[in-house]
Amino acid sequence: MQVVEKSSEGLSRTIAVTIPVAELNEKLDARLKEVAPQMRIKGFRPGKVPLAHVKKTFGRDFMGEIVNAALNESSQAALDEIKVRPAAPAEMKLTSDMDKVIKGDEDLSYEMALEVMPEFTPVDPKTLKLKRPVYEASDADLDEALAELAGQAKTYEDKTGKTVKAADGDQLTIDFVGKIDGEAFDGGSATDADLVIGSGRFIPGFEEQLKGAKIGEEKTIEVTFPEEYQAKHLAGKAATFDVTVKAIKAEAESKIDDDFAKRIGIESLDKLKDLLRSNLNQQYAGAARFKLKRALLDALDEKHSFDLPPRMVDAEFEGIWQQVEADKAAGRLSEEDAKKSDKKLKDEYKKIAERRVRLGLVLAEIGRANNITVSDQELNQAIMAEARNYPGQERAVLDFYRQNPNAAASMRAPIYEDKVVDLIFGAAEVKDAKITKEELLKEDEEG
């Protein structure tokens, strides 16, 4: 194998690799000699197929396998030979005629364009000093969580009184038949349907027209389906609904006691409180870790300054800018960003892209120096966790990651980063600092 560094400019390199055709043919001959004794071809006794015939019949296929293997093996060997460490996977470009290579008539030649790791010495994690924000769930937090849970587990009781009329917040049990131009339409009818007035579950205007209705009353409600209604054949059309009110219930007062806990499947109120407090503290611990990690990244960014691989920065910026443009088109840009010119936004997001690349290289170098790796078991656990986010589609998600190595690799990166971050947390001087819940949950902008 011949390796030549064709160009070197800053962190960019172009490397030419040539594998002699004689070396490829030698590997092909070895492969043919290996498989020929096992060949069974019509017209020849088992194990007695001439090499020339095997080569004529299967030579192209075997040579294709040899060439693919040579490309994979030689690329890393070439990098090792000239002693460079790529900052990202190299771009490969074949420079030989592949048809002639497969025929065994031409050398296998290709070029690799890559950016190498910049030279820098990462900070010693032991010299870092960080403050870990600490907040534990208060009784007020617990009461708020209990009230929210009670609101989600509302119960309703029959309204009583001389004249029972439906009001905002009441739950009605109704039968209805929807019609367009006097004809009932598919999916527009129901029996014993429960509807809370003000919930917004039905077409705009439907629920409001039921206010004041009495039990047993029959009403005809007139509405118009929204233009963006999901059922295209109904979108924008006027409709009537013949409604019969069968029951009217008011929201029952939710007493937060042992009975309430048992109603939602917990043995007692004390046990429910323990579970809620534990869940809250887990959420707060996650938010605290996020802020501690942000503080670490800020410290690492401040302590490192070196040349960045331009193509890596450009690729990172392009990903960011595509999202910015999508947010702009959808009206999701922050009020502050919406006032800025594209040039101003690009300058700001270019700096964010540079920060991300710089921090990625620093974390990668610290991880390499400390032999951090991501095992297949860790990767599989992460993929399984991702699959569980899609109930009923777990098999499809697992198959997607098995069939797409790049997608699986994208899952490996955050696992690696978290392992490096944990390593630094363990080595750095980290002191707890109590803060308020508002301070903990305040969103930080990336800068």
- Give the model's confidence band at 32: pLDDT under 50 very low, under 70 low, under 90 confident, else very high: confident
Predicted local distance difference test score (pLDDT) of residue 241: 96
* Residue range 305-358, pLDDT digits in tens: 999 999 999 999 999 999 999 998 888 888 899 899 999 999 999 999 999 999
Mean pLDDT (whole number) for 55-59: 82
Backbone angles phi, psi at 165, to 5 degrees: -125, 150
Q: What is the mean pLDDT of the chain?
A: 91
pTM given for the model: 0.71
What pLDDT sits at residue 100? 93
**For residue 194, is pLDDT > 90?**
yes
Q: At residue 263, does pLDDT exceed 90?
A: no
pLDDT at 254 exceeding the cut of 80: no
Rounded to the nearest 10°, the torsion over CA 56, 58, 61, 66 is -90
Position 367 pLDDT exceeds 70? yes
Q: Is the pLDDT of residue 188 over 70?
A: yes
pLDDT at 447 over 70: no
Residue 425 exposed, middle or buried by CB count within 10 Å (0-12, 13-18, 19+):
middle
* Residue 446 predicted with pLDDT over 60: no
Q: What number is the average pLDDT over the span 93-106?
A: 93
- pLDDT confidence band for 210 (50 / 70 / 90): very high
Mean pLDDT along residues 136-160? 89
Mean pLDDT of the 419-442 span: 95
Q: How far apart are CA 419 and CA 33, in angstroms?
A: 48
Confidence of residue 48 (pLDDT cuts 50, 70, 90): low
**Domain extent listing, the chain:** 2-115, 154-251, 262-441
> One-letter amino acid identity for 43?
G
So what's the pLDDT on residue 269? 94
The highest-level CATH class for domain 154-251 is alpha beta
- 262-441 belongs to CATH 1.20.140.150: no
Nearest to 8 by CA among 115, 119, 117: 115
- Taken in order 207, 213, 214, 220, the sign of the CA dihedral is negative
Which CATH number fits the domain 2-115, given the four candidates 2.40.50.140, 3.65.10.10, 3.30.70.1050, 3.40.50.720?
3.30.70.1050
pLDDT at 445: 61
Indicate the range of 153-167, 182-196, 287-301 predicted with least confidence: 153-167
